[in-house]
Copies of this chain bind each other. A is one copy, B any other.
Amino acid sequence: MRIAVLGNGIVGNTIGTKLCELGHDVMMGSRSATNEKALKWKSTAGARADVGDFGAAAAFAEIVFNCTAGTGSMEALSMAGEQALDGKILVDVSNPLDFSKGFPPYLTVCNTDSLGEQIQRTFPSVKVVKTLNTVNTFIMVNPSLIAGEHDMFLCGNDEKAKAQVEEILRGWFGWTQVLDLGDITNARAMEMILPIWVRLYGKLGTPNFNIHVVK
């Protein structure tokens, strides 16, 4: 499958590399097609890895992963352009965290709205599926790094898109427990997990943890 990974940070690197390993053709999208971090990733990720600007990556892809920093996601997706994204699944793993005032970060949007919803409203023809934002990127693509049962949440407006993303989570990444919360408005609840996540990160001294819903 042809997949775009928007963003050249640790999340884009990790997901991009994993998708290449799984045999997919991956284009990492950046502001510039000659972004040094993206080119460095391409040099290590094998023959299936390529780079381009946001628009080229989105146009190339059948499925798009938004791995940009949440505070830059709207701009990155605008640069990708509605036409290149039209009708495609956008797996939104980002969080609208503002680290400019130090740790712990704040959410730039929450409670009555979310980044996932903002993206869906701005690009109504895109099938936004929010998921993976509640764990560290190494856990995203390798949930077995955590011993025992733990859960991944997912939400979005398009049932077929959610089913396909759930299959990616289970079949490609190895998630065994995926909870579909409903439509994209549930992204606010998923993004509002981050305030406790960042504090647990500080307390536990490792980003390699997740939550398990226990009945």
B-contacting residues of A (Cβ < 8 Å)? 104, 106-107, 110-112, 146-150, 153, 179, 181-182, 186, 188-190, 192-193, 195-196, 198-200, 203-204, 206, 208-215
User: Which residue in chain B gives the minimum CB-CB distance to A205?
Assistant: B215
User: Which residue in chain B gives the minimum CB-CB distance to A208?
Assistant: B215
Say which residue of B146, B189, B199, B213 sits within 8 Å of A189 (CB atoms): B199
Please measure, in the bound complex, the distance between the C-alpha atom of A110 and the C-alpha atom of B188, giving whole angstroms: 12
A71 vs chain B, min Cβ distance (A): 14
A125 vs chain B, min Cβ distance (A): 26
Contact B213 A204 (CB under 8 A): yes
Say which residue of B112, B149, B186, B190 sits within 8 Å of A214 (CB atoms): B149
Say which residue of B147, B203, B206, B212 sits within 8 Å of A211 (CB atoms): B212
- Give the residues in chain B near A211, CB-CB below 8 Å: 211-214
Q: How many copies does the complex hold?
A: 2
Query: Can you add 7 more A-B contacts, CB < 8 Å, to A181-B203, A210-B213?
Result: A147-B215, A181-B200, A188-B195, A189-B199, A190-B196, A204-B213, A209-B214
Contact A195 B203 (CB under 8 A): no
Q: Which of A104, A107, A192, A203 has the most CB of B within 10 A?
A: A192
A168 vs chain B, min Cβ distance (A): 21
Please measure, in the bound complex, the distance between the C-alpha atom of A62 and the C-alpha atom of B104, giving whole angstroms: 34
User: 7 closest Cβ contacts across the A-B interface?
Assistant: A189-B195, A189-B196, A192-B192, A211-B211, A212-B212, A150-B214, A209-B215
Please measure, in the bound complex, the distance between the C-alpha atom of A70 and the C-alpha atom of B93, giving whole angstroms: 32
Selected A-B contacts with CB under 8 Å, 11 pairs? A104-B189, A146-B214, A148-B214, A149-B214, A153-B196, A192-B192, A192-B195, A192-B196, A193-B196, A204-B215, A212-B214
Please measure, in the bound complex, the distance between the C-alpha atom of A112 and the C-alpha atom of B107, giving whole angstroms: 9
Contact B196 A182 (CB under 8 A): no
Contact A210 B206 (CB under 8 A): no
